[in-house]
Amino acid sequence: MFLGDTHTHSRCSPDGRFSMAEMARAAAENGVSDLWLTDHCDLLDLNGVFTPRYDWAPCRADHEEARRGAPPGLALHRGVELGEAYEDPAAARAILAAEPELDFVIGSVHNFRVIMGKRDFYNADYGDLDACHRALEDYLGSLEALAGLPDCYDTLAHILYPLRYMERAGHRVSLFTGDYPQRLEGILRTVAQQGKALEVNTWRGRTVAEWEPILRLFKAVGGEYVTVGSDSHDLEHIGAGVRESYELLRVCGYRYTAVYEGREPKMEAI
């Protein structure tokens, strides 16, 4: 049975701890049939410092070691999570061109674009709802900019990202209030029209149901491709929430999940 986790991080990510070989063994133990290793390459670091270069060598070496020792029945795929490509599209394209054997590119936004010194949303102070709304205004602008760079991503990642940290601060904020729905619809329409995918990010199994209104909206604007990833940085959570996400996709009228090889989408029945 197909069970693919398209978003995971090894020790090649700044916030990862485990080798790709360890990730592969854990994936097989967790029932995953296909694993995409998609380590971070962000054009801004946590503190907003511009980082326009990426060293592929450690990632290549770790992936080759993992591939040689991969458990039987597990398919390993090479990917990357490319953050903030809109900061310098030429730099983003040069990074991707330096690794032509990539299977999959996750496009993501982790940092403010205009305010807060361009720091990661993880580090922001969400002291009140006004701060949350200022953050969301900035974030949606970044998503709009990224969605318009189709060569810099295959799937648009975790669009609920800053809401995680607002909720941690005690604020429940929705993308379906005020003028946010119109802007979200525009972003999803751009993704769909360009033949790109939307990611259901389970956040290590914590968020599945939250994706239902977004999946329905994506389908309504012509979206076809949906990827599902755990965003796991550890061994325990590889594959977490993926089965439940497949069920949610079915409920929302999707019959397939998208997976990528050589940056081309392939549809897997769910």
The pLDDT assigned to 85 comes to 98
For residues 268 and 263, give the distance between their C-alpha atoms in angstroms, rounded to a whole number.
15
Question: Which residue ranges of the chain lie beneath pLDDT 70?
Answer: none
- Give residue 1's pLDDT: 87
CA count, 13 A, side-chain hemisphere, 150: 12
Could you tell me if 220 and 209 are in contact, meaning their C-beta atoms sit under 8 angstroms apart? no
> What DSSP designation does 31 have?
T
For residue range 84-119, list pLDDT tens digits in order: 999 999 999 999 999 999 999 999 999 999 999 999
218-256 residues labelled b (16+ CB within 10 A) or e (exposed): bbebebbbbbbbbbbbbbebbbbbbbebbebbeebebeb
Residues linked to residue 39 through DSSP beta bridges, in sequence order: 80
Neighbours of 149 (CB within 10 A): 16
Distance separating alpha carbons of residues 147 and 187, to the nearest angstrom: 6
Residue 256: strand, helix, or coil: strand
What pLDDT is recorded for position 20?
98
Nearest Cα to 222, choosing from 187, 192, 260? 192
Token digits of residue 1 = 């049975």
Handedness of CA 52, 192, 110, 125 (dihedral sign): positive
Whether residue 153 contacts residue 85, with contact meaning beta carbons closer than 8 Å, is answered with yes
Domains in the chain: ranges and CATH: 4-269 (3.20.20.140)
Strand order in the sheet with 104-108: 4-8, 34-42, 75-83, 104-108, 155-156, 197-201, 225-229
